[in-house]
Structure 1
Amino acid sequence: MSQGSVDAAHTRMSVPTGSLKQRVLRAGGWTAGGFAISQTLRIVSTLIMTRLLAPEMFGLMSIAVMVNVITALLTDLGITQNIVQSRRGEDPTFLNTAWTVQIVRGFIVWGLALVVAIAIYFGGREGLLSPDTVYGNPVLPWVLAVSSFSIVIASFASTNTAIAERHFNQRHLIRIDLTSQIVSLVAMVVLGLWTGSIWSLIAGQLAGGVCGTTLSHLILPGERNRFGWDPKALGEIVAFGKWVFFSSFVGVFALYADRLVLGGLVQASVLGQFAIASTIVGAVQGVFQKLYATVVMPALSETARNDRPRLREVFYRLRVPTDLALLFVAGMLAASGKLVIGILYDHRYGDAGWMLQILALSLVWVRYGASQQLYVALGEPKYVAFLNFARSFAVFAALFVGFRLGGVAGAIWAFSLHQIVNGLMTYYFNASLKLNDFKRELLVLVALPVGYGVGLCINLLRPT
């Protein structure tokens, strides 16, 4: 490609406007608003589909989603993060190579999912899987095989989605995500009314994927992707991606550790209570993880590329507001968890209240997710891999020891506190990068008792 072509391509890219602070605030607003609408649509979708389909269909779909997530994480190369942080992130040659690798990976993930589906099929056929279990359901292999094709569809998405994140252009990304969700919802409801089968869920998933991928090519500004294979670009993708791959490989076990361990130690009813409490904590955690990935990481990447001496200052300017919010919410839920559960659910879910109070403390460690995005922005994903490896070991050890010493409550306490290991490691890594500011680290902690006090006041609203 000639220099003139490259320059022309770059002029079509979404050029950032405004100061870094203005763009961060604008992107943060779009991200928070989009996340709120997305969650509302998800709740509406669940309320409608649970009235159209039998409960076992959601059980089958949950297994399919879990397999898809695990296989995707086990082959993760961090292509989007690489484009956001790389100095070559807007080079068409680099982008086309990344797009090609992304598609190849999509087919590999689908192939792995098909292998799992075939194994389940023959396991059921040979009587190795009980027909009374989800894994022994004869429909599961077909559900898994078809639903996993959504990964192939997503792999064709334009790399301009990563460019949009790089330039804080969350407006276009949110529009694409919400439109895809609406298309998915409509497809599910229409087919659900017509067939009343699990295939309505899968059709919605595939329809949403096709919509999102298509819109990424039609709406987002930038160079249109074409197949390409540049050895130098591939080398950079692999060099960055190998640590993301290792990080995801070990991190996937930490992601599902609570369900894997507690599922073998407690009754289904207890695990159900835990799942309710985890859902509430997970919703809070999801908001901040989304902000870290779509706002904090691009901001830190731009600063690392263009103004490295200011990186620590920018890092803490981004972190302090989110730290204060997370610690405040953690304290508030730790005090008022029982009231929250009592308002949202009936008396059968009462134990989820005290579980929520304990699990709320796990939000204290979510704030270190900003540091993980910092390492990616600096092109050092190996630090994230080390943290995930330590977390995987710590969470399994903590859960078993906690359960042995204190039963279910002990296991939940252990799960909520196990990431103290990651916190200490984060301070060590940040010290080596000369990015610690212990004064600010200590000052934000005041939000935890303040939130707890507010939670106690909220408890006064409890009807007698």
Structure 2
Amino acid sequence: MQAEIIEDSAKQEKWFSTKHLNGNLKSHSVKGGFSTIGGQLVSFLLNISSTVFMARLLSPEDYGLVAMVTAITGFVVIFKDMGLSAAVIQREHIDQKQVSAVFWINAGISLGIGLIIAALAPFLVDFYKEPRLLDITLVFAASIFVTGLSLQHNALMKRQMKFQALSMIQIGCTAVSVLLGILLAWLGFGYWAIVAYMVLNPVISVAVLWLTCDWRPSFSVKALEVGALLRFGAGITGFDMVNYFSRNMDYVLIGRYVGSGALGVYTKAYQLLLLPITQLRDPLNSVALPALSSLQNDKYKYQAFYRRFLFTLSFFSMPLVVFMAVYAEELILTVLGNQWVAAGPIFRLLAFAAFIQPSLSTIGLVLITSGMVKRYFWWGVINAVVVVTAFFIGVQWGVQGVAIAYAVVTYLLLFPALLFCFRQVPVTTAMFLKEISLPALFSLASGAAMFLFKLNFGQLPDIALCAAGFAVGAACYLLAWCISKQSRAKANQIFDIASTLMNRFKV
């Protein structure tokens, strides 16, 4: 019996200690980053496939109906995690009692949130004057409790940088949800195909995470053991709350004052724009969070890692967004079809904001890993007030007015965000601007080349024009990095990362 207890204790302890990772953090980070990006790439292709098929089988109204529900219910779901997953990853030392307490807190909150969302269903029906929202809301409510049971399993795997296993889970669950969504759309289930596609992925991942991560919560917990984690998580939850409110108020206003069809066009344009960006940004952020957390007591190593991370993110995200902005209409017609042609101008306007957003989002990563969660929350409040005000002004001119307002306010808040957030942390505003300057400049230059190519060869079929334009833009972008010794040295960082990865796999 004693041997079994010792064995079980050792099994649990392996998920808590991170000392074995610190000796080769760069290698773990690079391998984890590429594993996660690889998983995201496959998921991206699967999601694009579902978008191509489902957008042709479903109407903008179908997407608008689901967006009406998720814009409201998603706000409540923020409280499910309470920022505790990030706290588990960020803390230097954690133990079984702390993580178990966090698990039971998340489970209880998830149950409560599911009940709250179910209670909100009649309110949503009355608010939008749309009776079909009742059943949609109840289905989302039912899935909330289940998905809350794997939050800490996911966090522990990230803490141990087991990104390859997480990527495989993501790919498998995405494949199942995509296939079912397409099948239901083809069979004529309408908006239920979208609901199934959105709900099934996280629900299946719960079972797979429990099978993959053998950590199990215990009933022996103490409230005092989790106090520090709750205080840390409160700041993150507060930010997520106000940030979600500001980021989704455009959906609410468009749905309320313009209609479900217009909301469907807007959300589809926004989702299509974010799809490739999130496949790049999210895996890098997932790796950077535990890596920077482990370096929080070493200023110079922290700065070096952050600068390399920010440069890598900007190097890939900025030219990608420029390409999507130049070929907005062609991409919409190629991916979504003719019934979504109205999304083209919205897609381009939103791309102006998306150009800087992936890089700017690293502010939150710095504040979280530096333990500055109170400042993180207050910046969220300031940002939300300004953004929501802009949406209320923009909706007076319809969907395009909202998109323009979002783009304008993003750049108005750029320098205030940097100056407010980068105080008493290892990162400075000058450091941030230096790392993004060349990617931004060369991306805009490649955008000019792609625009000229489009003017001269616009008669090509949409898919051929996009492919050729992408090749032209990529060639010009890479050529720009060869102009000077300084730019070549910066670009070599990307090759250094690739070299580290290849050496890691040889070992």
Q: TM-score, normalised by structure 2?
A: 0.76
Indicate if the aligned counterparts of 1:335 and 1:452 stay in contact, CA closer than 8 A: no
Indicate if the aligned counterparts of 2:71 and 2:252 stay in contact, CA closer than 8 A: no
Structure 1 unaligned residues grouped into runs of 5+? 124-128
Q: Alignment partner for residue 421 of structure 2, among 418, 425, 429?
A: 429
Tell me by how many angstroms 1:382 deviates. Answer: 1.9
Q: Alignment partner for residue 220 of structure 1, among 213, 223, 238?
A: 213
CA RMSD of aligned residues (A): 3.6
Q: Alignment partner for residue 116 of structure 2, among 112, 117, 121?
A: 112
- Structure 1 pair 345–40 and aligned structure 2 pair: CA distance change class (3 A): closer
Tell me by how many angstroms 1:277 deviates. Answer: 3.5
Q: Alignment partner for residue 160 of structure 1, among 150, 153, 156?
A: 153
2:92 counterpart of 1:100: no
| Partner residue, 1:417 | 408
2:400 counterpart of 1:395: no
User: What secondary structure sits across from 1:179 in the alignment?
Assistant: helix
Indicate if the aligned counterparts of 1:332 and 1:452 stay in contact, CA closer than 8 A: no
Q: In structure 2, how many angstroms separate the alpha carbons of the residues matched to 1:150 and 1:13?
A: 29
Indicate if the aligned counterparts of 1:292 and 1:373 stay in contact, CA closer than 8 A: no
| Partner residue, 2:315 | 324
Tell me by how many angstroms 1:449 deviates. Answer: 3.5
| Partner residue, 1:80 | 85
Tell me by how many angstroms 1:151 deviates. Answer: 1.2
Indicate if the aligned counterparts of 1:292 and 1:370 stay in contact, CA closer than 8 A: no
| Partner residue, 1:21 | 26
User: What secondary structure sits across from 1:379 in the alignment?
Assistant: coil
User: What secondary structure sits across from 1:418 in the alignment?
Assistant: helix
Counterparts of 1:441-460 in structure 2, within 5 Å, are: 441-442=433-434, 444-459=436-451, 460=453
Q: Alignment partner for residue 463 of structure 1, among 424, 434, 458?
A: 458
Amino acid at match of 2:12: A
Q: Alignment partner for residue 274 of structure 2, among 277, 282, 294?
A: 282
Indicate if the aligned counterparts of 2:65 and 2:260 stay in contact, CA closer than 8 A: no
Q: In structure 1, how many angstroms separate the alpha carbons of the residues matched to 2:323 and 2:181?
A: 37
Amino acid at match of 2:131: G
Indicate if the aligned counterparts of 2:150 and 2:209 stay in contact, CA closer than 8 A: yes
| Partner residue, 2:174 | 181
- Structure 1 pair 269–153 and aligned structure 2 pair: CA distance change class (3 A): closer
| Partner residue, 2:504 | none
Q: In structure 2, how many angstroms separate the alpha carbons of the residues matched to 1:354 and 1:198?
A: 25
Q: In structure 2, how many angstroms separate the alpha carbons of the residues matched to 1:351 and 1:191?
A: 26
Counterparts of 1:303-342 in structure 2, within 5 Å, are: 303-304=295-296, 307-341=298-332
Tell me by how many angstroms 1:58 deviates. Answer: 5.2
Q: Alignment partner for residue 142 of structure 2, among 145, 149, 167?
A: 149
Tell me by how many angstroms 1:117 deviates. Answer: 2.2
Which has the higher mean CA deviation after the structures are superposed, 440-449 or 111-120? 440-449
Amino acid at match of 2:116: L
Amino acid at match of 1:320: F
Which has the higher mean CA deviation after the structures are superposed, 150-159 or 200-209? 200-209
Amino acid at match of 1:382: K
Tell me by how many angstroms 1:120 deviates. Answer: 5.2
Indicate if the aligned counterparts of 2:363 and 2:421 stay in contact, CA closer than 8 A: no
| Partner residue, 1:136 | 131
Amino acid at match of 2:107: I
| Partner residue, 2:369 | 377
Larger helix fraction of residues: 2
2:231 counterpart of 1:239: yes
Tell me by how many angstroms 1:354 deviates. Answer: 3.9
| Partner residue, 1:10 | 13
Q: Give me the identity figure in percent.
A: 17
Tell me by how many angstroms 1:271 deviates. Answer: 5.0
| Partner residue, 2:496 | none
- Structure 1 pair 146–407 and aligned structure 2 pair: CA distance change class (3 A): closer
| Partner residue, 1:126 | none
Indicate if the aligned counterparts of 1:331 and 1:452 stay in contact, CA closer than 8 A: yes
Q: In structure 1, how many angstroms separate the alpha carbons of the residues matched to 2:404 and 2:221?
A: 49
Which has the higher mean CA deviation after the structures are superposed, 75-84 or 273-282? 273-282
User: How many pairs does the alignment contain?
Assistant: 449
- Structure 1 pair 195–14 and aligned structure 2 pair: CA distance change class (3 A): farther
- Structure 1 pair 10–392 and aligned structure 2 pair: CA distance change class (3 A): same
Q: In structure 1, how many angstroms separate the alpha carbons of the residues matched to 2:258 and 2:294?
A: 47
Tell me by how many angstroms 1:423 deviates. Answer: 4.1
Q: In structure 1, how many angstroms separate the alpha carbons of the residues matched to 2:343 and 2:181?
A: 31
Q: TM-score, normalised by structure 1?
A: 0.83
Q: In structure 2, how many angstroms separate the alpha carbons of the residues matched to 1:199 and 1:373?
A: 36
Q: In structure 1, how many angstroms separate the alpha carbons of the residues matched to 2:181 and 2:394?
A: 42
Indicate if the aligned counterparts of 1:109 and 1:151 stay in contact, CA closer than 8 A: yes
Indicate if the aligned counterparts of 2:376 and 2:421 stay in contact, CA closer than 8 A: no
Deviations 1:146-204 (A, max 9, x none): 33221111112162321211222111111222222334345556777889486676666
Tell me by how many angstroms 1:30 deviates. Answer: 1.7
User: What secondary structure sits across from 1:279 in the alignment?
Assistant: helix
Indicate if the aligned counterparts of 1:341 and 1:353 stay in contact, CA closer than 8 A: yes
Indicate if the aligned counterparts of 2:273 and 2:347 stay in contact, CA closer than 8 A: yes
- Structure 1 pair 427–317 and aligned structure 2 pair: CA distance change class (3 A): farther
Q: In structure 1, how many angstroms separate the alpha carbons of the residues matched to 2:334 and 2:295?
A: 44
2:383 counterpart of 1:386: no
- Structure 1 pair 274–65 and aligned structure 2 pair: CA distance change class (3 A): closer
Indicate if the aligned counterparts of 2:90 and 2:294 stay in contact, CA closer than 8 A: yes
Tell me by how many angstroms 1:367 deviates. Answer: 0.9
- Structure 1 pair 343–54 and aligned structure 2 pair: CA distance change class (3 A): closer
Indicate if the aligned counterparts of 1:158 and 1:216 stay in contact, CA closer than 8 A: no
Deviations 1:18-46 (A, max 9, x none): 72221221111122221122232234445
